């Protein structure tokens, strides 16, 4: 993946917005419900998996539960 200036700016913006939440929840356990449309759509599955990995990488401990609704 090549990183253009526009992409770099978008990434910087997202990380800047996420930083307060990362700091607040680092070291904590978060329960995440996974079900419905997120399980059916392939793009949503991949996005969900990336988000869970990102949480783990920044020190948040995600616990994934199926359904719940």
What does pTM read for this prediction? 0.77
Helix-strand-coil split of the chain, %, nearest 5: 60, 15, 25
Go through the chain and tell me how many residues it has: 69
Domain ranges of the chain: 24-69
Say what the pLDDT of residue 3 is: 84
Residue that wins the pLDDT comparison between 27 and 68: 27
pLDDT digits (tens, 9 = 90+) for 33-54: 998 877 888 999 999 999 999 9
DSSP state of 64: E
Which two structure tokens, joined as six digits, stand for 35? Answer: 């079900």
Radius of gyration of the chain (CA): 14
Block residue for tokens 């700091």:
23
| Arithmetic mean of pLDDT over the chain | 91
């Amino acid at each position: 993946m090549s990183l253009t200036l526009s992409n770099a700016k978008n990434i910087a913006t997202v990380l800047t917005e996420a930083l307060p939440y990362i700091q607040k929840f680092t070291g904590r356990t978060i329960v995440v419900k996974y079900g419905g449309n997120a399980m059916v759509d392939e793009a949503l599955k991949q996005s969900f998996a990336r988000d869970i990995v990102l949480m783990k990488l920044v020190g948040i401990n995600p616990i994934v539960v199926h359904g719940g609704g």
